[in-house]
Amino acid sequence: MAKIKPSKGHPYARILGVGGYRPVRVVPNEVILETIDSSDEWIRSRSGIESRHWANDEETVAAMSIEASGKAIADAGISAGQIGAVVVSTVSHFKQTPAVATEIADRLGTHKAAAFDISAGCAGFGYGLTLAKGMVVEGSAEYVLVIGVERLSELTDLEDRATAFLFGDGAGAVVVGPSAEPAIGPTVWGSEGDKSDTIKQTVPWTDYRDGVVTRFPAITQEGQAVFRWAVFEMAKVAKEALDAAGITVDELDVFIPHQANERIIDSMVKTLKLPESVTVARDVRTTGNTSAASIPLAMERLLATGEAKSGDTALVIGFGAGLVYAATVVTLP
């Protein structure tokens, strides 16, 4: 049997830079109230959301990704040409093929970087980060760009009281590269496909094409079931990720959970018994739920406002449609 040379990777990986893009248009709750019977007070008290951003025609999935990525690449202090792989997590890019990652890799000026899309809902960033870490450690890419990007406004039924106020648009990106010490902990991740009906697209695209339905497909969810699952099961997953990284809550500086609902965030903070010293991301208030983009967007904002700083130890956890989840402890760039 011929001997195959092993690939040459790095002992560890880290997040080297982060960038975000929020669409120009800010949509306050008042706009949502034009199509559903609700109130600003109800939306704020049940979800924490005051406003969200909706993309215009120019703010495509690729355009928002390129903006966020440019900032992440500059923040990492590398050039686009050094990127070996581009991973895009999205559920709202409406062209099945080719992957939008290839267009982004080209327009950013990478040198033929490997590029592909993944579909892992609101856990998409954690899934992408885990793949990126693997690539750097294994040696198939020196630097990996991980992008979470959504235009969920296009997948929102504005007449559905249960979801009309929840979703927003935006892109967040990080560059993952070699590290001299561990800076991305073990990922605790998984899927619970027996609950796949709790968050889903209303009907397949083909039903719309074939005239089975006249309403464009949208995301629908069983709010309470998802809420309960998130509150009870995801706090356990978050704790497992802390344990796997060997980090106690007292050693934690920052908590960046998926920005789905501020009451879920509050509940997790309580269950995990996070000390007051831990900075908690509450980007949901002005960004809404941007699915795969929510964690990198929240991370970028905490660093930009000075609420978190480079070198801080952060617990990140994403969870959503699938149902899927991914949690890990990272050192902030």
Rule CB under 6 A: which residues touch ligand COA? Answer: 36, 38, 42, 46-47, 122, 161-162, 165, 199, 221, 223-224, 226-227, 230, 260-261, 264, 289, 320
Q: Is 111 a catalytic residue?
A: no
Can you tell me the distance from the alpha carbon of 146 to that of 15, in angstroms, rounded to the nearest whole number?
10
Contact 167/288 with Cβ under 8 angstroms? yes
Distances from the Cα of 240 to the Cα of 187, 199, 306, angstroms:
9, 24, 28
Can you tell me the distance from the alpha carbon of 111 to that of 134, in angstroms, rounded to the nearest whole number?
21
Give the 3-state secondary structure of 128-159.
Answer: HHHHHHHHHHHCCCCEEEEEEEEEHHHHCCCC
Q: How far is the CB of 310 from ligand COA (least distance, A)?
A: 28
Q: How far is the CB of 150 from ligand COA (least distance, A)?
A: 11
Residue 184 corresponds to which tokens in the numbers above?
């991305």
Closer of 177 and 320 to ligand COA (Cβ):
320
Catalytic hit among 29, 53, 93, 289: 289
Environment class of 194 (CB within 10 Å of its CB; exposed 0-12, middle 13-18, buried 19+): exposed
Q: How far is the CB of 19 from ligand COA (least distance, A)?
A: 23
Catalytic hit among 29, 53, 93, 258: 258
Helix or strand or coil: residue 275?
Answer: coil
- Select the residue whose beta carbon is closest to ligand COA and give its number: 223
Interstrand relation of 12-21 and 83-89 (parallel, antiparallel or unpaired)? unpaired
Catalytic hit among 29, 93, 122, 261: 122
Residue 188 corresponds to which tokens in the numbers above?
């605790």
Residue 79 corresponds to which tokens in the numbers above?
């050039």
Q: How far is the CB of 32 from ligand COA (least distance, A)?
A: 8
Closer of 189 and 227 to ligand COA (Cβ):
227
- HSE-CB at 223 with a 13 A cutoff on CA atoms is 12
Q: How far is the CB of 321 from ligand COA (least distance, A)?
A: 6
Q: Is 258 a catalytic residue?
A: yes
Backbone phi and psi for residue 145, each to the nearest 5 degrees, phi listed first: -95, 120
Q: Is 122 a catalytic residue?
A: yes
Closer of 38 and 140 to ligand COA (Cβ):
38
Enumerate the active-site residues: 122, 258, 289
